[in-house]
Structure 1
Amino acid sequence: MGESGSYGEGFGKRLGAQASSYVSRALRKSTIAATELRYDNPSLELSTPPKEEDAFMVGHYLVDCPSYLYWESGRPAPASAIGQGQTIIYDLKRQPTFLLNHGFHTVHYYFSRAALSAISEEAGASPIDELQYKPALATDDPVMRNMSAGLLPFFGRPEEASVLFMDHVMLAIGIHVATRYGGMRLRREGARGGLAPWQEKRAKEMIVSGIGGDISLAAVASECGVSARHFSRAFRQSTGISPHQWLTQRRVETAKRLLAANELNLTQVALACGFADQSHFTRVFVALTGTSPGLWRRNNAI
């Protein structure tokens, strides 16, 4: 929960909306968070302003908001509209408020300035002073649209959300925001290699050791002595897939061994391999193998 009321349950309470969220610690000593909000009963009142802080919110609207009335630092912005799939930015230093005259369904991303600075530092770019935007003016951003669509299922089923996957996506969103709205220019890394052999070996050991639970991207990257952003890129270059995809493959391989041994039922196999439940296990297993765990067991049991 964010005490600032700018992400998580605190954000939902401030607006009187239903909220579910994920807070990423992929960046050291800084916060990136995503909050899905559903607001169905317009009160026709002004929203309670957030605590003034050195941070930004990037809101992605999943439904139309045909009449958007917005104030920043107590001054009204021109009346506008936000279309389904559009993105809008708020500077929390300016205490943004808006009229609760419509229901809404959104994903709001919270970036502390420390998080944006950490992203630019890891990229070897100049520090980001501001995100460029015009108050109450929404933009079309296909990257945010696709990223939000990819996260939505996990707000509804958080138990299925791997920390490696969520940290990877949240970091990618942060890099996009810093680049598109903060003017960050990534260094050209050319054909630089992936992880050193010892780094790849240690990373895989750590990921496998957490196969029945979860391990964060930041923890694995730290063990390898690199940033989370560099680790994600280098791991993919070394293996051809993301850390989350590699973990998923190992979980399915472990599941196959347990299924062949025929000592545990499907629910026990699912939990032993780090899946949320049998349903989650079945969906992933079918996606990777083309067959269900039960049928695979019948054809391969020892």
Structure 2
Amino acid sequence: MTRAGAYGQKLGQFLHLKDAPPSLVTRSLRSTELAVTETRNDNPEPGLSGSLTAEDAFLVSLKLHDYPDCELWERGKCIMTADVHAGTTYLYDLKRDPRYVIDKPFHSLFFYIPRSALDGIAEQTGAPRVDELDCRIGVGHDDTIVRHIGASLQQGLRRPDEANQLFIDHMMLALTAHVAQTYGGLQRAVEPSRGGLAPWQVRRACDRLESDLGGKLSLQAIAAELGLSVSHFSRAFRISTGLPPHQWLLQQRVKAAKQLMSVRDLPLSEIAISAGFANQSHFTRVFSAMVGVSPGAWRRQAQGSSGSET
């Protein structure tokens, strides 16, 4: 079973789901695994949820469906009932055995953040270690950043073959840093302003990204080659190129596709795979969003302009 499947299975059992829900996993902080899982059941069997393994880790949950009169449990006891509203963020400490009564349709995103990931964020930013997160039971937060990151990752959860690992790494790193600062009081150490990468580092990073247009290479692997932390590499790469790594890679995919469409009369499905896209529909969506026209229309325009010049 894949790591993503294992996380999905764990939450599926917790929520009594028949099938393991989709998950995405990243290892960007001290080789620690972070995961996001989407859970939904429109017709659940009433009963108390299962228990998750007690560990020094946290769940950040973005609720996507209203859940009135939610009966909340900790450490084997019913603590309170609370109305849960769609769009609200809740935090759970897995050491406290958080559970709730499942008796209504639910739909949520769960972000799994182990303690070691919070320690990694503190270490990379030169800040003191985060002691605890704000995991008060029944207390929801109106968090626009979590909503934005959740909406972005939902596309990858629903189309895992199209998920760009660099993008997953980037978003999960951003989420962990945000949670540490907003709910753990992380204070970045005052440090001198850092510039971009050295020219040789830019060349090395770009070469590595271009060698894997499919986007399976992780941020951690590239940063490690340059002797940098993931957060420093991501920030410096953006300063040097004007784009975060995952967006720079998308531009290279589109550039490669344009070259193939310009010099070869290949089917768009073959061009999509050659340029690092999961399939033709993925290619069409990304290309259209970035270029403003579909691949087919762009090729017709390119062929028409070249024909008029001959």
TM-score range, shorter chain: over 0.9
- Secondary structure of the residue that 1:32 maps to in structure 2? strand
The offset of 1:160, in angstroms, is 1.2
The range that moved more, 202-211 or 192-201, is: 192-201
* Aligned residue among 115, 121, 124 for 2:117: 115
Kept after mapping to 2: 8 A contact 1:160/1:275? yes
Identity %: 46
- Secondary structure of the residue that 1:7 maps to in structure 2? helix
| Residue 142 in structure 1 maps to residue 144 in structure 2 | yes
The offset of 1:31, in angstroms, is 1.8
Q: Could you say which residue in structure 1 is the equivalent of 2:189?
A: 187
| Residue 14 in structure 1 maps to residue 14 in structure 2 | yes
The offset of 1:88, in angstroms, is 0.8
- How far apart, in 2, do the equivalents of 1:205 and 1:188 lie? 33
Kept after mapping to 2: 8 A contact 1:6/1:110? no
- Secondary structure of the residue that 1:146 maps to in structure 2? helix
Q: TM-score, normalised by structure 2?
A: 0.92
- Number of residue pairs the alignment of both structures matches: 301
Q: Could you say which residue in structure 2 is the equivalent of 1:59?
A: 61
1:129-168 mapped onto 2 (5 Å cutoff): 129-168=131-170
1:157-203 C-alpha deviation (Å, 9 max, x unpaired) = 11111001110001000000111111101234564201111111110
The one-letter code sitting in structure 1 at the alignment partner of 2:197 is L
The offset of 1:116, in angstroms, is 1.0
| Residue 270 in structure 1 maps to residue 272 in structure 2 | yes
1:44-102 C-alpha deviation (Å, 9 max, x unpaired) = 21111111111110111011111111111123222111111001111111111110112
Q: Could you say which residue in structure 1 is the equivalent of 2:78?
A: 76
The offset of 1:256, in angstroms, is 0.7
Kept after mapping to 2: 8 A contact 1:67/1:79? yes
The one-letter code sitting in structure 1 at the alignment partner of 2:163 is A
The one-letter code sitting in structure 1 at the alignment partner of 2:172 is M
CA RMSD after TM alignment: 1.8
* Aligned residue among 252, 256, 260 for 2:254: 252
The offset of 1:136, in angstroms, is 2.1
The offset of 1:296, in angstroms, is 1.7
- Secondary structure of the residue that 2:90 maps to in structure 1? strand
- How far apart, in 1, do the equivalents of 2:293 and 2:152 lie? 24
Q: Could you say which residue in structure 1 is the equivalent of 2:27?
A: 25
- How far apart, in 2, do the equivalents of 1:270 and 1:6 lie? 30
* Aligned residue among 229, 239, 257 for 1:237: 239
Kept after mapping to 2: 8 A contact 1:2/1:11? no
1:12-66 C-alpha deviation (Å, 9 max, x unpaired) = 1331235111011112231211000012223221111111111110111011111
- Secondary structure of the residue that 1:139 maps to in structure 2? coil
1:198-247 C-alpha deviation (Å, 9 max, x unpaired) = 11111001000001452111111111111111111111111111111110
Spell out structure 1 runs of 4+ moving beyond 4 A: none
Kept after mapping to 2: 8 A contact 1:77/1:136? no
- How far apart, in 2, do the equivalents of 1:212 and 1:33 lie? 21
Q: Could you say which residue in structure 1 is the equivalent of 2:212?
A: 210
1:281-292 mapped onto 2 (5 Å cutoff): 281-292=283-294
The one-letter code sitting in structure 1 at the alignment partner of 2:104 is H
- Secondary structure of the residue that 2:49 maps to in structure 1? coil
